[in-house]
Amino acid sequence: MQIQQNFSLKPYNTFGIDVKARYFSPFSNVEQLTQLSKGVLADTNHHSPFTIHNSPLTTFVLGGGSNILFTKDFDGLVLKNDIRGIEIVKEDNEHIYVRVGAGENWHQFVLFCIKNNWAGVENLSLIPGNVGASPMQNIGAYGVEIKEVFHELKAFHLHEKATYTFGLKDCQFGYRDSIFKNTYKDQFVITDVTYRLNKFPNYNTSYGAVEQELERMGVKQLSIAAISQAVINIRTSKLPDPAEIGNAGSFFKNPSISKEKFQDLTSNPDSYRGQNIVGYENMDGTVKLAAAWLIEQCGWKGFRRGDAGCHERQALVLVNYGNATGKEIYDLSEEIRQSVREKFGVELEREVNII
Ligand code: FAD
Ligand code: EPU
């Protein structure tokens, strides 16, 4: 365990933003994390988990860096979670419970499940990042969210220096949301996650694009491997690969509005006359809009200023073509929000964590 100083974070965020961390330390087990909090950087202020030379030090937990936008240098300690390991903890007739270290790569874990014929995560194939962020973000794609296969997680409290177990209800999962993004923001380091996978698959092909792709692939016998491949094909066809163009996936969440507001948007001649406005009714009667569609209608799709841009195939994805700064991308996102607000009266909320 080595603490680096003035450490470049460019290779550690998929936006490829060139910022530095004042301190950077990887850790590969809970003991090292505890040691970091107790020993290497002496704790003399209980309000701050870590201090150095007696002054409080802000900390940031880093996974794969695929859902963050650094807007400036980070004047604190970046804790890079490298906890590895996959083990079966129990099984019954229908399920297999698998505990996975937070530093394991998410997609590699998905492939491991498919190889073992454990179902439940196949629709979440090819999502970048690590296991530790999966409950933090309640990652979702193609009709499935992580909460559906979540059993429990362990998390280390940075102030108390103690490990707690969180079950499904404790995590308060929502759309791209959990208790770790609000009430417990910046307080816990998730160290491992236990998933409850299915021995008998319950295929989810409800997302139109998945069904179409399976048909195009000529799949006769549905399997988790086929669904995974269909999802991989769809994703590679429309989402930019961060290895080629810096990005963090969807920059905004898809907003939900009331049914009345939706009707107003589709029919009121004094409002927006877009009869093709894309909306899906939620369980609670509100309507979820496709943020990508709203952004495209405002003319941003394919827009580029310097190296900051809005992707030409997916308007919800902001991109760094090379040397954009985090601030340039953030400012672009602010302009996009403003124009969507002006044209549709709809507020876009950022999905990406701004640091
Ligand atoms: P990071 O970016 O490192 O961190 C994200 C947040 O989680 C930060 O606040 C960080 O502090 C916190 N965090 C990370 N690890 C821990 C931990 N162990 N303990 C406590 N806090 C932690 N997301 C989806 O949901 N669905 C998609 O379909 C999807 N598609 C994407 C496509 C592309 C091309 C890209 C680049 C991103 C996409 N994302 C998607 C977003 C991203 O992949 C997920 O949010 C992913 O879970 C982030 O994981 P990470 O390890 O990279 O997290
Ligand atoms: N659309 C446009 N213009 C575009 C792109 C899409 O009008 O440039 C329209 C499409 O025609 C479609 C609708 O928007 O009707 C939805 O598009 P898509 O299926 O691509 O999904 P999305 O809403 O843009 C969401 C998630 C993705 C996830 C996919 C698949 C959010 C914020 N994003 O995107 O997650 O992979 O659905 O389930 O919920 C992420 O979180 O980073 C992410 C990529």
Domain ranges of the chain: 4-81, 86-238, 246-354
User: Regarding the domain delimited by 86-238, which CATH topology (the fold level of the hierarchy) does it fall under?
Assistant: 3.30.465
**Entry pTM:** 0.95
- Give 263 Cα–ligand 1 centroid separation in angstroms: 34
| C-alpha span between 100 and 146 (Å, rounded) | 14
Q: What is the CA radius of gyration of the chain?
A: 21
| C-alpha span between 308 and 273 (Å, rounded) | 30
Under DSSP, the state recorded for 12 is G
Q: 60 CB less than 6 Å from ligand 2?
A: no
Q: Would you state the pLDDT for residue 279?
A: 87
> Which residues are registered as beta bridge partners of 177?
174
For the 246-354 domain, the top CATH level (class) is alpha beta
The DSSP-derived string for 119-180 is: BS-GGGTT--SBTTHHHHHT-EETTEEGGGTEEEEEEEETTTTEEEEEETGGG--BTTB-GG
Give yes or no for a contact between 286 and 257, defined as CB atoms under 8 angstroms apart. Answer: yes
Q: Which residues are catalytic?
A: 176, 250, 351
Give yes or no for a contact between 118 and 198, defined as CB atoms under 8 angstroms apart. Answer: yes
Ligand 2 pocket mutation pick from 250, 280, 353 by most atoms within 8 angstroms of CB:
250
- Give 135 Cα–ligand 1 centroid separation in angstroms: 9
Per-residue pLDDT of 138-173, as tens digits, reads 999 999 999 999 999 999 998 888 999 999 999 999
Residue with tokens 């179902």: 119
Q: Would you state the pLDDT for residue 266?
A: 81
Q: Would you state the pLDDT for residue 42?
A: 47
- CA 74 to each of CA 22, 60, 78: distance values in angstroms, whole numbers, following the listed order: 6, 9, 8
Per-residue pLDDT of 247-273, as tens digits, reads 999 999 999 999 999 988 887 655 455
User: Is domain 4-81 classified as CATH 1.50.10.10?
Assistant: no
Q: Per the structure block, which two tokens stand in for 203?
A: 């295929």
Q: Which atom from ligand 1 is nearest to the alpha carbon of 247?
A: 36
